[in-house]
Amino acid sequence: MRKLTVQLGERSYPILIGSGLLAQAPQFFEQYGLTKKSPLMIITDENVAPKYLAALEQTLRSAGYAVVSAVVPAGETSKSLAVYQDMMTAAIEGKLDRSSAILALGGGVVGDLAGFVAATYMRGVKFVQIPTTILAHDSSVGGKVAVNHPLAKNMIGAFHQPELVLYDVDTLQSLPPRDVSAGLSEMLKHGLIRDEAFAHWCEEHAEALLALDPDTLGYGLERGCSIKAEIVSNDERENGERALLNLGHTIGHAIEAIAGYGEFLHGEAISIGMAGSALLGEKLGAPAGLYDETVRMLRALRLPVTLPEHLGTDALMEAMMHDKKFREGHMVFIVPDRIGAARIVKDVPVTAVREVIELLRKGE
57 catalytic residue (yes or no): no
Supply the pLDDT for residue 95. 98
Q: Give residue-wise pLDDT tens across range 50-95.
A: 999 999 999 999 999 999 999 999 998 999 999 999 999 999 999 9
How confident is residue 216, by pLDDT bands cut at 50, 70 and 90? very high
| Rounded Cα distance, 253 and 239, in Å | 20
Single out the catalytic residue among 160, 190, 223, 266: 266
Single out the catalytic residue among 123, 239, 309, 310: 123
pLDDT at 364 over 90: no
Q: Residues 192-219: what's their mean pLDDT? A: 97
Single out the catalytic residue among 47, 148, 154, 246: 246
Burial category of 205 from C-beta neighbours within 10 Å (exposed 0-12, middle 13-18, buried 19 and up): middle
190 labelled ligand-binding: no
| Rounded Cα distance, 86 and 277, in Å | 38
pLDDT at 245 over 90: yes
Single out the catalytic residue among 242, 302, 324, 325: 242
330 catalytic residue (yes or no): no
pLDDT at 322 over 80: no
How confident is residue 152, by pLDDT bands cut at 50, 70 and 90? confident
pLDDT at 363 over 80: no
pLDDT at 324 over 70: no
pLDDT at 3 over 70: yes
153 labelled ligand-binding: yes
144 catalytic residue (yes or no): yes
pLDDT at 327 over 70: no
328 catalytic residue (yes or no): no
123 catalytic residue (yes or no): yes
Q: Whose CA is closest to 154, among 260, 237, 86, 76?
A: 76
Single out the catalytic residue among 160, 194, 228, 324: 228
Region of 123 please: left (phi>0), alpha (psi -120 to 50) or beta. Answer: left
CA dihedral 150, 137, 251, 177 (to 10 degrees): -90
Mean pLDDT rounded to a whole number for the chain: 95
Supply the pLDDT for residue 326. 63
pLDDT at 153 over 80: yes
203 catalytic residue (yes or no): no
The one-letter amino acid at 79: K
pLDDT at 299 over 90: yes
194 catalytic residue (yes or no): no
Supply the pLDDT for residue 323. 66
Burial category of 237 from C-beta neighbours within 10 Å (exposed 0-12, middle 13-18, buried 19 and up): exposed
The separation between the first and the last C-alpha atoms of the chain, rounded to the nearest angstrom, is 43
| Rounded Cα distance, 173 and 364, in Å | 35
